[in-house]
Amino acid sequence: MQNNLSVSGLADPAFAKPSVNLTTMLVLLLTAVGLGTGLYAFIVGHHHVYAVTREVPWGILISTYAFFAITSTGLCILAAISHAFGGTAFAPLANRSVYLSIVTIMSAFSVIGMELVSPWRMLIYNVISPNLGSNIWWMGTLYGLAVGCMAIEFLAILTARWGIAVAIGVLGALAEVGANTNLGAVFATLAARPFWYGAQLPVFFLCSSVMSGAAAIIIFTHLAYKIRGEKMSEEVFRAVQSAGKVLVLTLFLIGVATVWKLISFRTGGSELGLLAFDNLLKGPLSINFWVIETAIGLVIPILILVFSRLKSLGIMFAASIMALAGGFFQRYDLVVAGQQVPVFYGWDDLPSYLGYSPSMGEIMVVLGGIGLTLTGFLLGERFFGKVFTQTGHH
């Protein structure tokens, strides 16, 4: 690597194939249509496009924002550990993790930007009128700091300035951890919502971030080699196995945390909290919880990873897809279940669960965020592909 930045020297011609160009155009179109739907909502009014109500004000766009932000944090943490300590088995995946962390946080910002009625006010007043007692202010500020750090870190990686990359990368990871736990605290400090309230959620979000980051780097590394038509080197395969070990461990911990949350509600928790959890166990969200979140997102990935002993790349890829899908629905179920129980439950014949189902407009914005992530991945491999194969430089 040269110290002077040369994009042409980093580009990978394998990602300039017509089939890859066509795929890039298609996911870019998906991004434009999805985020264009969000812009349309600004014109006609969010209440005409989105299905959220005064009773259930946070919907799938909030959970999707959390999903992308959490994934970004996990990728950043895994990269920072590798860069800071050097020589770890995860090192061959670290540069790609830094880049994907930037891509996923930008996807998160895009989705939340479409959800907020006046996102520009957030940008303005976040600077001129800071509220140091607000978890949301800290979350936004720290994620903004993290993006700046990751951008500088990636630029330092491109120009082979490893000392700067390590120092700024660690700072960015600390900012991401702070932002991620504050994101959890946005929910955990709402005493009016017993399903969320408590000290567990910020730590749960942090564990979920590492799980999502490990799954994401396995998926995108496998796709990068598949698209190139190259066989993965032994060094990179061992790095993917290391990510697989992290994935198994964090999936297990998420399962344990879920069980203990249920036990806590069953043995003295609030009635509204238990009612919200029953929404997952046997209510409107039960299929999401048992089929996608638990079976597909937790149990099956753990079993196939353990029994395969992480020796099959295809199995690790499939398990990662299932884990990410489960993680997406974990965020959705958490956000929606916490609101569907009426705050004044039991008064004036209120229903046990308030209704909410994502509108087509919301789904399109979610697909736009996914499209942005895929577009960023393909363009990153196209223009920076060679830097993702750099190892042993720390």
Locate the domains of the chain by residue range.
Answer: 7-387
Q: What are phi and psi of 219, to 5 degrees?
A: -60, -50
DSSP structural state of residue 227: H
Q: What are phi and psi of 295, to 5 degrees?
A: -70, -55
Pinpoint the alpha helices (H) of the chain: 7-10, 18-44, 46-49, 60-85, 94-115, 119-128, 135-158, 162-188, 200-228, 234-266, 271-282, 286-287, 300-308, 313-340, 360-384
**pLDDT of amino acid 265:** 86
Sequence letter at residue 128: I
DSSP structural state of residue 117: S
Measured torsion, CA atoms of residues 256, 260, 263, 264, in degrees rounded to the nearest 10: -170
**pLDDT of amino acid 90:** 87
End-to-end CA distance of the chain: 13
**pLDDT of amino acid 8:** 62
How far is the C-alpha of 372 from the C-alpha of 322, rounded, in Å?
20
Burial class (CB within 10 angstroms; exposed 0-12, middle 13-18, buried 19+) of 145: middle
How far is the C-alpha of 208 from the C-alpha of 206, rounded, in Å?
5
Mapped onto helix, strand or coil, the DSSP state of residue 393 is coil
- Cβ-contact 365, 111 below 8 angstroms: yes
Q: 7-387: which CATH topology?
A: Formate dehydrogenase/DMSO reductase fold (1.20.1630)
**Two structure tokens written together for 171:** 């700072």
**pLDDT of amino acid 307:** 96
How far is the C-alpha of 347 from the C-alpha of 299, rounded, in Å?
39
**pLDDT of amino acid 392:** 46
The whole-number mean pLDDT for each consecutive block of 10 residues of the chain, a chain of 394 residues, reads 57 88 96 96 94 93 97 95 76 94 97 91 88 92 95 92 91 95 94 89 96 98 94 93 96 95 85 89 95 97 96 97 97 94 74 90 97 97 87 49
Q: Which residues contact 375 (CB under 8 A, 6 or more apart)?
A: 24, 27, 28, 31
User: How distant, in Å, are the alpha carbons of 201, 335, 352 from that of 343?
Assistant: 20, 15, 10
How far is the C-alpha of 330 from the C-alpha of 66, rounded, in Å?
10
**pLDDT of amino acid 86:** 66
**pLDDT of amino acid 268:** 78
pTM of the model: 0.94
